[in-house]
Amino acid sequence: MKKMQGGFTLIELIVVIVILGILAATALPKFANLKGDAVVANVNGLRGSLSSAASIAHGTWLITPATATIEGQGVTWVNGYPNTLTIGPLAGVTAADYTTIPASSAATANSPATGATEVAFIPASEAGTTNGLTCFVMYTQAAAGGAPTVAATTGGCD
């Protein structure tokens, strides 16, 4: 008696490959823009970090309104909150992770303009590209009797 060989026919293999192709085509767009989602999360995380650092520093100012050192960083106060020069280091902003656009900077092809009381932070992955114009966090010093504002712009994060 002859032994019969088992296996898949060519048609069965082609059908399986077509089904896998369809599944891959539907799943691919979901994972194609993960970098953009990560950069948006990074910007929103920095916004939270800046807000928290300003609140913690304000609490310190309420207790000791004179000069203070927080986490080894000297703080310069403006209406009881950190100024534009000290908020970045207080929030853990580093040059490796973010490009800092200092106060009173003109807009460029790659970065937003900042006013005299504003500082912007652009994620390193977006700095040096036109995305820097629409993917950043802006910290505005506290006005008299108010708190600072921290706004995230994520429209151009890739």
Q: What is the pLDDT of residue 72?
A: 84
Low-confidence ranges of the chain (pLDDT < 50): none
128: left (phi over 0), alpha (psi -120 to 50) or beta: left
pLDDT (tens digit per residue) in 90-124: 999 999 999 999 999 999 999 999 999 999 999 99
Domain spans in the chain, listed from the N-terminal domain onward? 50-153
What's 133's DSSP letter? G
CA dist., res. 124 & res. 90, Å (int) = 18
CA dist., res. 85 & res. 79, Å (int) = 14
